[in-house]
Structure 1
Amino acid sequence: MEVGIDSFAASPKKNIDRSEAINTLLERIVFADKQGLDVFGIGEHHREEFLDAAPTMILAAAASRTERIRLTSAVTVLSAADPVRVFQNFATLDLISKGRAEIVAGRGSFTDAFPLFGYDLREYDAIFKEKLKLLLTIRDNETITWNGKFRPPLREQPVYPRPVQPKLPIWLGVGGTPESFIRAGELGLPLMLAVIGGQTHRFAPLVDLYREAGKEAGFAPQQLKVGLHSLGYVAATTQKAVEDYFPGYQKVFTKVGKERGFAPVTKAGFDAQNTLPQGALLVGSPSDIVEKIKHHSDALGGISRVSFQMDVGLPHEKLLESIKLIGQEVLPHIKSL
């Protein structure tokens, strides 16, 4: 099992501090590489509170300063992007990193990109399906002929550059719709499951749908990998982890909840998602988190990757310490699963 970190590049309020925030994020990626973590992902948002609107720029900067860690999106908002440019950007990242680039393609948890880039939310699913098909066609063919509804046609058009990796890895990022799980299986794509709340085991029937669809489409079980993106943070003790993590978590998700009509976050609600073995949050001591990851993997029939999303306003030093604990005390145990 691979272990990684995902970041949404949380933004301070002042421009001068934003530059510092980007550079400390790069320090964390370099540090994660040195601690032996397998992957670091950068999200994509188009909102004031995040600095990840151009994730390949951040990943390219990290590529020049790291040696072995894989560099991925988390996720690329494919619905609002040109698949040709997405492929070119990540192929270039693959060249810079000497074969360490990946894409997690998805639709994101916010809709800000749709009006920003002139797309109609009523076409939400149709746009994504068409663009995913085009991205995979470009990945698998140097020269393509293609025609669709949401982009001008391509006629015997070569797409360059080509990546170092013979087949650039593309995962499908999913939330909770059965259609998304089935689509990933039918295409034989590895599945990155974002679980940001509730109980992880409730996704087991959807993961089963994914594997069944993949099997029916003729893909081998080893091709149908499942990754888990979870909110999490590791400290020396579970009590310390909760004390560090909860205040920022409460602030961030109460704000999101206001936009979406959810109730404010409470400590009781947080504990319900964190203290139970099946709870989605991975906030605790190294030993507690190892056991919880094992539980999640068993519940989902085995997972190939787990990524911690720790962006809730924690200071740089605490994030570094958490990455160190993940690398030194969580990773060795997870690797044996």
Structure 2
Amino acid sequence: MTERYEFGLDTFGDVTAGADGAPLSHAQTLRNVVEEAQLADRLGLDFFGIGEHHRHEFAVSAPEVVLAAIASRTERIHLGSAVTVLSSDDPVRVFQRFSTLDAISNGRAEVILGRGSFIESFPLFGFELNQYQELFEEKLNLFSALLPQEPVTWTGELRAPLTDQLVYPPIEHGRLKTWVGVGGSPESVVRAAHYGLPLVLAIIGGSPARFTPLADLYRKALEQFEQPSQPIAIHSPGYIGESDEQARDTLWPCYKGYIDRIGRERGWAPATREHFEGEASANGSLYVGSPESVAQKIAGAMRTLGATRFDMKYSNGPLPHDELMLSIERYATQVVPRVRELLALADAADAEVDAAAAGS
């Protein structure tokens, strides 16, 4: 029987620290990502996602290449992006790369399309930031037209048209599983619903509950567009330790270094331990703590938003590879089984309430 709920991991290939505390090379970081994915596969997780970035603190700029390497060394885990910055890429080439990955992995490829939270790819690939919105809208429109794998005739404003064009290689079975990743924009949520694509909510700050209106809007928009029901996934950062105290003490310096570095670019105030503890609390966006604490928090967030998948971004700045491997093992062997148990109990209670209401 297919499980109703899925659990995955995401990484941006954060450049980690070695045994001497110095940053590892980008090359070694990439090799470590492959090893981390192999562990996730062995432990039975459902999904492994790799984000695209073009910055010195992240090693992955070509996720599909890394995913192809992972595909050759894994057996069952689904593999995808987290996210692919479609605005600064070509939809046809993105489809071709992921359909190739799907073939290599024997049908395990997924793609999460988004606008990205960083803008380095725009000047790097020659795109104008003043067309940020228009680029994503038009390219998502074209990508959606490619999914049925029929001859495409398409015209836009920012790319050459297509006339009766087939794209190769085709997906061997079915169609490419395609999600839209959003960070809080109602327009993006409605756009995903318009195309009938599953939704990933990237919750990286504040309470997951504040995304409830977006989840409700998405489901309502699907109905209005006469699209079938689609799953909602959550993407949030986390780290699983032996205890709440150990996990928070271990992650805090890595978290502060990362937030402060980005904050200097964006005008944020330096991160404080008080803010960190708030995000790590039961109502925050950081899934940091003991297996039981994190499991309770994940189950609560999934119930609140009606999500059926949770992907934890397990890489957090320079947190060492050995710590990441331990966190992955605890997530897969302790957290996920406990979350499944909690959700099964909650679903059973809901079914009893529904049955009682129907009989009254």
- Both proteins in one fold, TM over 0.5: yes
Count of residue pairs the alignment pairs up: 333
Q: Match of 2:87?
A: 79
Q: Does 1:293 align with 2:298?
A: yes
Q: Match of 1:9?
A: 13
- 1:11: Cα distance to partner? 2.9
* CA distance 1:94–1:250, shift in 2 (3 Å): same
The letter for the 2-side match of 1:282 is Y
Q: Is the 8 A contact 2:202 2:236 kept in 1?
A: yes
Q: Is the 8 A contact 1:142 1:160 kept in 2?
A: no
- 1:287: Cα distance to partner? 0.7
> Which of 290, 309, 313 is the aligned partner of 1:305?
309
Q: Is the 8 A contact 2:231 2:308 kept in 1?
A: yes
Indicate the SS of the match to 2:226: coil
Q: Match of 1:120?
A: 128
Structure 1 residue runs of 4 or more that deviate by more than 4 Å after TM superposition = 12-16
Q: Match of 1:209?
A: 217
Q: Does 1:100 align with 2:108?
A: yes
Superposition RMSD in Å: 1.5
Indicate the SS of the match to 1:140: coil
Q: Does 1:136 align with 2:140?
A: no
* 1:7-47 Cα distance to aligned partner (Å, 9 max, x none): 10123699982221111110000001001111000000111
- 1:335: Cα distance to partner? 2.8
Indicate the SS of the match to 1:335: helix
The letter for the 2-side match of 1:257 is G
Q: Match of 2:176?
A: 168
Q: Match of 2:334?
A: 329
* CA distance 1:239–1:168, shift in 2 (3 Å): same
- 1:214: Cα distance to partner? 0.5
> Which of 317, 322, 325 is the aligned partner of 2:322?
317
- 1:298: Cα distance to partner? 2.3
The letter for the 1-side match of 2:312 is F
Q: Match of 2:353?
A: none
The letter for the 2-side match of 1:285 is S
User: 2: distance between equivalents of 1:208 and 1:124?
Assistant: 26
- 1:150: Cα distance to partner? 1.3
- 1:279: Cα distance to partner? 1.0
User: 2: distance between equivalents of 1:141 and 1:319?
Assistant: 39
- 1:105: Cα distance to partner? 0.1
The letter for the 1-side match of 2:290 is S
Q: Match of 1:262?
A: 268
Indicate the SS of the match to 1:251: helix
* 1:219-268 Cα distance to aligned partner (Å, 9 max, x none): 33xx3211000010111111111111111011001110110000001100
User: 2: distance between equivalents of 1:304 and 1:107?
Assistant: 23
Q: Is the 8 A contact 1:76 1:103 kept in 2?
A: yes
Q: Is the 8 A contact 1:142 1:162 kept in 2?
A: no
Q: Does 1:56 align with 2:68?
A: no
Moved more, 260-269 or 178-187: 178-187
Q: Is the 8 A contact 1:75 1:106 kept in 2?
A: yes
- 1:107: Cα distance to partner? 0.5
User: 1: distance between equivalents of 2:55 and 2:26?
Assistant: 14
* CA distance 1:183–1:19, shift in 2 (3 Å): same
Q: Does 1:243 align with 2:268?
A: no
> Which of 148, 151, 154 is the aligned partner of 1:146?
154
Q: Is the 8 A contact 1:230 1:280 kept in 2?
A: yes
Q: Match of 1:229?
A: 235
Moved more, 116-125 or 99-108: 116-125
> Given the two structures, how large is their TM-score scaled by the length of structure 1?
0.96
* CA distance 1:16–1:173, shift in 2 (3 Å): closer
* 1:71-103 Cα distance to aligned partner (Å, 9 max, x none): 010000000000000000000000000000000
> Gaps (5+ residues) in structure 1?
none
Q: Is the 8 A contact 1:174 1:192 kept in 2?
A: yes
Q: Is the 8 A contact 1:2 1:335 kept in 2?
A: no
* Identity, % of aligned positions: 45
User: 2: distance between equivalents of 1:299 and 1:69?
Assistant: 26
> Given the two structures, how large is their TM-score scaled by the length of structure 2?
0.90
Indicate the SS of the match to 1:68: coil
The letter for the 1-side match of 2:309 is R
User: 1: distance between equivalents of 2:200 and 2:151?
Assistant: 29
Indicate the SS of the match to 2:25: helix
